[in-house]
Structure 1
Amino acid sequence: MRTSPSMVPHVGDQDTYLVLDDFGGRFGRAWRESDEESTDRETLIRDLFAGEYSNPVRIVAFNTAEGWSRDVTVDIADELRRQYAEYDEVPTSVLRFVEAAHRR
C-alpha cells in the first residue's frame, strides 16, 4: 500500500512556514504546497514580495524537533513592513496582508 509523503521536513532542526492563501470565490482557502527547501523564513519573505501568493491570510510556523507551532502572521507582517523600502514595488497582496494582520 502506498503512503503519502510526510509534510514534516527531513532537515533536523528547521523552522517551517506554511501560508494559508485565499483564492476567492468557489476556490476558497488552502494551505499552499511548498518544496521542502522553500519553507524557511527568508524564502517565505522573498516569495511574498515576488507575488507568489494571491491573497495570504495566515502564516503558521512549526519546528518538529523542538516540538512547537504558532501563528506568526503578525510577526511576518511586521517584517514585511520593515522591508518595504528595499523593494521598488510592493505587491498588492502584501499590502493587503500587512493591513489585515494589524487589524487582528
Structure 2
Amino acid sequence: MRRSSWTPSIVPSGTDETVYLVANDFGRLGRAWREADYEATDLETVIQDLLSGQYSNPFRVIAFNTAERWSEDVSEEVARELRRRCDLQMCELPASLFDFVNQHDEPNRRQLTLRLA
C-alpha cells in the first residue's frame, strides 16, 4: 500500500555530486536562482563564472547534495575564495562581485601593513 505523503524523487539515482547554485538580484525584477547547465554546477565552474561576470549581482550561493541529504549556504566560503584569487592575481575584484564579497567576507578583514625600518 502506498503512503499518501510519498512522492517520487526527481533526482537521478547514482549521482553523488555536490551542486552549487547562485541566486542573483535583478533589481526591480526581483531575485531568482540563475539557470545553470547541469554539467556546470560544480564549485570551480561557479567561481569561474562569477569572476568572468556571468552573474550581474549575486547575493547567495547554495550547495546541496541530494544523495547525502544536505544543503548549506556557502556564500561566505565562496566570497573568501573570490577575494583570495583576486589577491593572488593582484587584480581588482570585478564590480559585479563587490557587494557580494563585502557582504559575506569577514567584516574585520584588515590589510596588514609592512613595517619599514
**1:70-101: CA deviation from partner (whole Å, max 9, x where unpaired):** 10010100111110132745321112210011
Q: Give the aligned length.
A: 96
TM-score scaled by length of structure 2: 0.74
Which of structures 1 and 2 has the larger relative contact order (alpha carbons within 8 angstroms, sep 6+)? 1
Query: In structure 1, how many angstroms separate the alpha carbons of the residues matched to 2:52 and 2:31?
Result: 20
Which residue matches 2:49?
47
Contact persistence 1:62–1:68 (CA under 8 A): yes
Structure 1 residues 40 and 87: CA distance shift in structure 2, 3 A: farther
Mind listing any 5+ residue stretches in structure 2 that lack a counterpart? Answer: 1-9, 108-117
**Aligned residue identity for 2:57:** N
Residue 24 (structure 1) aligned with residue 40 (structure 2) = no
TM-score scaled by length of structure 1: 0.82
Which residue matches 2:84?
82
User: Percent same amino acid at aligned positions?
Assistant: 52
Structure 1 residues 15 and 95: CA distance shift in structure 2, 3 A: same
Which residue matches 1:15?
18
Q: Which protein is bigger by CA-based radius of gyration?
A: 2
Q: RMSD value over aligned CA atoms?
A: 1.9
Structure 1 residues 9 and 97: CA distance shift in structure 2, 3 A: farther
Query: In structure 2, how many angstroms separate the alpha carbons of the residues matched to 1:99 and 1:24?
Result: 18
Residue number among 75, 97, 102 corresponding to 1:99 in the alignment: 102
Contact persistence 1:9–1:36 (CA under 8 A): no
**1:42-64: CA deviation from partner (whole Å, max 9, x where unpaired):** 00000000000010001100001
Mind listing any 5+ residue stretches in structure 1 that lack a counterpart? Answer: 1-5
